[in-house]
Structure 1
Amino acid sequence: DLGTASALVAEVSVQEGRVQVHRVTVAADPGLVINPDGARLQVQGSVMMALSSALHEELTIQDGRVVESNFDRYRLLPMRDAPPVEVLLVESGDEPQGMGEPVMGPAAAAVANAVFTLTGERLRTLPLRPGGG
């Protein structure tokens, strides 16, 4: 536990079974912020990693072997799909806490909740694929 509270909101669209994230807003309270620019960049990078995991990353086992044996066959979030990430730092004045990783957990949930609000479909497995696609 890094002691940082965070909340995320994702703005999404769904077309042909594909989730597109258009914008992410993050509010984080890491206590005392020593380097605000560094903290924002850490959060933005962590959101990109989390979106990649939530939307694309998957290992496939075929005949007892991993199909995606290297990164040329392992799908990651492409730059063209990287949404803007607004970071709101809430400084509680407490001791400095961890930054970055605390936003990764809620990212997939924020996207799944946005898809549910949009479509009424609950997505509970990763990668997130509406309509079972």
Structure 2
Amino acid sequence: MTSTTSQKQPVQFLEDRFACAQACTECARACALRASLWDPDGGEEQEVLRRRGILCAEVCDAACHVLAEQNQLDETAIRVQLEWTRAVCLECAHVFDRHSDAEKAAQACRDCARACTDFMGTLG
């Protein structure tokens, strides 16, 4: 990684990176679980929930892969991925908030968005 931030505070940088990856993993799990509860007879809104859950899980999974790369990506590439992840998570949380049985997935999405924001703050 090409960064003075990562060289100045390597322990904090790695802790924040791990916390972000962990939040992305939890969000991906919650969204995948939410998508698996899809009722084909539940109508269009159930289909929207399923698609959002799948998209969010895939985006969070991609973020985990990016965060797992040691020196393959620069901070700009990481920031782009995290901004995308954050936006998708917030959008997904908003959709899940409209359904009383999706609170856990919505909270996981918000937690992931917050972790992405926090980690982006450590980038140069």
User: Normalized against structure 1, the TM-score is what?
Assistant: 0.29
Q: Which has the higher contact order (CA 8 A, sep 6+)?
A: 1
Q: Would you tell me which structure has more helix in proportion to its own residues?
A: 2
Structure with the higher strand share, 1 or 2: 1
